[in-house]
Amino acid sequence: AQKITQTQPGMFVQEKEAVTLDCTYDTSDPSYGLFWYKQPSSGEMIFLIYQGSYDQQNATEGRYSLNFQKARKSANLVISASQLGDSAMYFCAMRDTGTASKLTFGTGTRLQVTL
């Protein structure tokens, strides 16, 4: 069974600073995808970044980058130059290639960006 662990319930970062949100995963499937989503208070899950298990390079999308360490089974999200609008819940998720091909989510990290 797949499992995602996010050990940081809450994080604070000052505006314009970088922050790393931790995510570790567990799966026996050799082919999987790792995702990060942002959920503001409105509730919508906003896709941020994706990393495939066979990708050789770390994924980047604008200010977001994913620090993928396969041997450690970690997929940390790095947000550079934090903005006040980055304050939200952040979820790490994994999709396997099983029959359901479902997303398994972690418990989330609440990020608060301060002035």
62 binds another protein (CB under 8 A): no
Listed ranges 11-19, 31-39, 60-68, 74-82: which one lies at the site for another protein (CB under 8 A): 31-39
What are the angstrom distances between the C-alpha of 55 and each of 18, 52, 68, 73, 74? 24, 5, 9, 14, 14
64 binds another protein (CB under 8 A): no
Asked if residue 78 lies in contact with residue 92, where contact means CB atoms within 8 angstroms, the answer is no
CA neighbours within 13 Å on the CB side: how many for 95? 13
53 binds another protein (CB under 8 A): yes
| Beta carbon of residue 104, minimum distance to another protein (angstroms, whole number) | 7
Which stretches of the chain bind another protein, using CB under 8 A? Answer: 4, 29, 31-33, 35, 37, 42-47, 50, 52-53, 91, 93, 95-108
